[in-house]
Structure 1
Amino acid sequence: MTRTLVVMPTYNEVENIADIVGRVRLARPEADVLVVDDGSPDGTGAVVQELAEQDDQVNALHRSGKQGLGAAYRAGFTWGLERDYDVLVEMDADGSHQPEQLGRLLDASAGGADLVIGSRWVAGGEVRNWPLRRRLISRGGTFYARFMLGLPVVDATAGFRAFRRSALERIDLGAVASQGYCFQIDMTRRVHGLGMTIAEVPVTFVERQRGASKMSGAIVREALWRVTLWGLARLVPGHRQRVSG
């Protein structure tokens, strides 16, 4: 039987975490959950620990201090690979990703895709309650990444994803330096660069109802900076030697 691990990074998600973990367990009772909490000062870690003590399929990974989305996922992936999970899923803990649609990603993964992206922008995908600014950032970011990096995807910044174990094992996770939402673009380009298969399935993204978004100008700037450097390394002869990360 395929072993699935849903990895959820958290920072100050005390209002959402119990609900979203419960929905995952109800929607996919065969899947395990790993919550990676970066020392949330609002008590998220304590709630997660209680959930883990009540349910053997819920696990808590406590880290000291806010270290970034990319670092949290790298830690979660490493934890899952060490425990021989076959499919590792990325999912936000704020309710924006619908656990009830997780089966779409897992079906595509079982069909042979190395990376499955739950896409907001393919036919059938949907975004609810997002302001125009967020839509423009998301669509513009994917357009720029497609142009600079040659990525064959419609939603390069999506954070609802499923990786097959074999795909993550081929990626040098220690070399992935990106932290914010740029991490999603970075992982996509690495999968694509290794010639692996990427599939997109439509999902409904719902803006969080409780808590504060982690999106910031610094996150957008990091993505713009890194994608530009990666693109130059791809497009400009001789530039590759001067680019790292």
Structure 2
Amino acid sequence: MTPEPSATAPPRLVVSLATFNEAGNIEPLVAGIREFAPHASVLIIDDNSPDGTGAIADRLVDTLPGVAVIHRPAKLGLGTATLEAMAYAIEHEFDYLLNMDADFSHPPRFIPALLAGMVDRDVMIGSRYIPGGGVEGGFNLKRKFMSTGINLYARTFLGLKTRDNSGAFRCYRVSKLAEIDFSRVRSRGYSFQEEILFWCRQVGCRFGETPILFENRRAGVSKINSREAATALWIIFRLGLGRLLGRV
């Protein structure tokens, strides 16, 4: 069993935020994170947002302790941004990496519950699909069908037991992430959320879920599209087939 961080000090935590056109959200979100996790470092990974998100992130680095930013040259995908955050957490020897969306759909008030669950878990998921969890105002029929379907699909093909496998609001034990060969990760977009849980399962991670309320974004527009959804289904199918054939 992986030893816990010293009881005399809080775990070294970094919160990662992948951004593209989040100028209206990033500054108040960092303030909200620090309200509920005062000891947290914050890593912003910006994909050259044309709305100036990167410049705001630089200003936060200059004015707040424990804030860092990685500037990428273009929109390279949510999966690659999260992988960069994981590599950063490993390199800088953090205990926990907590990832969340940068649009306030993941309210910072749920961070303490995620951290509390890490006492005896290696991955804690902020879940919409366990008792107490949900979606503000509910999903429309199309989005509910897609979200429910992709979670069932992931559980079936990837052998996952957790209920919410498509959400990004999660905390990972960094020492377990270090056991994963990231070169084997195929996803670059939204299927990353399911795939990384598969690889966490492969290295023996213990999973937990805590209920969250998924809220509508405060500013900007949603970036998911049907092409990325189709790609996610294909990648999950290939991973599941590989699992059944004993190739992964």
**Cα deviations by residue, 1:189-242 (Å, 9 ceiling, x for unpaired):** 11112222011111111021321101111210111001111122223x48x4xx
Give the conservation status (yes or no) of the 8 Å contact 2:19–2:44: yes
> Could you list the runs of 5+ residues in structure 2 that have no partner in the other structure?
1-8
Question: Counterparts of 1:138-149 in structure 2 under 5 Å?
Answer: 138-149=147-158
Q: Which amino acid aligns with 2:134?
A: E
- With normalisation by structure 1, the TM-score equals 0.93
Q: Which amino acid aligns with 2:204?
A: G
Over aligned residues, Cα RMSD in angstroms? 1.3
Number of residue pairs matched? 238
1:62 corresponds to 2:110: no
Corresponding residue for residue 71 of structure 1? 80
1:128 corresponds to 2:136: yes
Q: Distance in 1 between matches of 2:102 and 2:204?
A: 30
- With normalisation by structure 2, the TM-score equals 0.92
Corresponding residue for residue 177 of structure 1? 186
Corresponding residue for residue 115 of structure 1? 123
1:207 corresponds to 2:216: yes
Which residue, 109, 113, 116 being the options, matches 1:104? 113
Runs of 4+ in 1 over 4 A off after TM superposition: none
Question: Counterparts of 1:1-245 in structure 2 under 5 Å?
Answer: 1=9, 2-109=11-118, 111-129=119-137, 130-235=139-244, 237=245, 240=247
Given the superposition, is the C-alpha separation of residues 214 and 163 from structure 1 closer, same or farther in structure 2, using an over 3 Å criterion?
same
Q: Distance in 2 between matches of 1:127 and 1:108?
A: 21
Q: Distance in 2 between matches of 1:201 and 1:40?
A: 32
Give the conservation status (yes or no) of the 8 Å contact 2:122–2:207: yes
Q: Distance in 2 between matches of 1:135 and 1:38?
A: 28
Q: Which moved more, 1:157-166 or 1:131-140?
A: 131-140
Q: Secondary structure at the match of 1:170?
A: coil
- Taking only the aligned residue pairs, the percentage that are identical comes to 39
Q: Distance in 1 between matches of 2:29 and 2:144?
A: 24
Q: Distance in 1 between matches of 2:214 and 2:42?
A: 20
Q: Distance in 2 between matches of 1:36 and 1:138?
A: 25
Give the conservation status (yes or no) of the 8 Å contact 1:4–1:31: yes
Q: Distance in 1 between matches of 2:186 and 2:158?
A: 17
